[in-house]
Structure 1
């Protein structure tokens, strides 16, 4: 297992999601499951490999979790409800609570903030991106505990600019959706391709062109 744990993993291992402390074996199972799910995806992962990495018998997993799906949800559910949402908002607070002179400053701050967040929390984000499309209960939690909160606060920023007459009167939800789509597209390509050693990638130019693309699309440039 990795010697350096992501911050959210440290928090998760402090409890079992029901207010109790995990046993030492249970902590090893959960940490191994996080690694295997992040590396291979849920469908391609096996409880036997998780048990092997954790150094426990496979039957030990099923004493704590009835199924592999229960193990996944034991990781993801508290991570989203208690950890990811607070981490997202904790990191986003400095973006959402700051004063900006123009919308491009908002976009630039969002990009820098999310790249920093991604670098610190790669495993849980990989699991979420891989598994959310296939698990309705995970979709519901993500929409309620993460997406809904973030979108509502970003819409307030847009509404403020519109109230000052500094932004076109598009629905604030549309402005946020278009902005996030462009930003996440840039971050996704940057992560998958731009960080490769053989990549031909001018990160500063790609970032600024993404911001200009959004601003032009909103009629602000």
Structure 2
């Protein structure tokens, strides 16, 4: 009997490219951008670098994308839609429809953290592009953070209220709680996405983050 194999995961960028009806040359330009922006950085990449790696002329690059900023925006399209929490936590949120099946707060935090860290691992290149640029431009990073926090709070509002009613979670506004979650996630994402090419133990990291958050946000250990 043959052993079962898990379906191969692909990045949201590769998924987008496979499903897209864009011309092949345009796809090659976007792929080249992702590689170069993630390795050399957005500022240090020239259109001639992109054209050379894509195997096209600079004129072809400009035909599809008028500026380098347009290229960065094009890379963002498939990524931002999939990273927003309304799509990110479908499996966990489905369980929340039947509130009795929702796990304890620590386990819930582990599940959503593992889910997002797996996403980070699969999309390291494109995350590196956005985080590098965002860190240089604090205003862009702050805007992205607040957009993420607002979306996360909206997606998890019902679940947050459930854990607050159970006495497992401090009675703070959803956005405040989600900022703590965001900060804990970024504490692992930044060094492992920006500063390292090595894989990291997603399961161990997820358990550590979940434990830290569940303790830090517990009513008896939190300051009102």
- Shared fold by TM > 0.5? yes
Which residue does 2:173 correspond to in 1? Answer: 171
Partner of residue 154 from structure 1, selected from 140, 156, 172: 156
DSSP 3-state at the match of 2:89: helix
Which residue does 1:71 correspond to in 2? Answer: 71
DSSP 3-state at the match of 2:187: helix
- What stretches of structure 2 of length at least 5 have no aligned partner? 1-8, 96-100
2:16 counterpart of 1:11 = yes
Structure 1 residue 101: deviation in Å?
Answer: 3.4
Normalising by structure 2, we get a TM-score of: 0.74
- What stretches of structure 1 of length at least 5 have no aligned partner? 16-20
Query: Which whole-Å deviations, capped at 9, do the CAs of 1:170-214 have from their partners, x for residues lacking one?
Result: 2232222212312331344455679849x9x8973x554433322
Which residue does 1:48 correspond to in 2? Answer: 48
Structure 1 residue 111: deviation in Å?
Answer: 2.1
Query: Which whole-Å deviations, capped at 9, do the CAs of 1:11-36 have from their partners, x for residues lacking one?
Result: 14644xxxxx3222111111111111
Structure 1 residue 104: deviation in Å?
Answer: 0.5
DSSP 3-state at the match of 1:97: helix
Which residue does 1:18 correspond to in 2? Answer: none
2:201 counterpart of 1:213 = no
Distance, in Å, in 1 between the alignment partners of 2:188 and 2:80 is 27
Which residue does 2:89 correspond to in 1? Answer: 92
- Bigger Cα displacement from structure 2, 6-15 vs 170-179: 6-15
DSSP 3-state at the match of 2:43: coil
CA distance 1:188–1:100, shift in 2 (3 Å): farther
Structure 1 residue 216: deviation in Å?
Answer: 2.6
Structure 1 residue 108: deviation in Å?
Answer: 0.9
Native 8 Å contact 1:47 1:61 kept in 2: yes
Relative contact order (C-alpha < 8 Å, sep 6+): which is higher? Answer: 2
Query: Which whole-Å deviations, capped at 9, do the CAs of 1:65-98 have from their partners, x for residues lacking one?
Result: 111112221221x22454444xx54442112333
Native 8 Å contact 1:155 1:173 kept in 2: no
Structure 1 residue 110: deviation in Å?
Answer: 1.7
Distance, in Å, in 2 between the alignment partners of 1:51 and 1:218 is 50
After superposition, the CA RMSD in angstroms is: 3.5
Native 8 Å contact 2:32 2:54 kept in 1: yes
Distance, in Å, in 1 between the alignment partners of 2:168 and 2:140 is 40
Native 8 Å contact 1:95 1:113 kept in 2: no
DSSP 3-state at the match of 1:70: helix
Distance, in Å, in 2 between the alignment partners of 1:194 and 1:35 is 16
CA distance 1:178–1:51, shift in 2 (3 Å): same
Structure 1 residue 159: deviation in Å?
Answer: 1.3
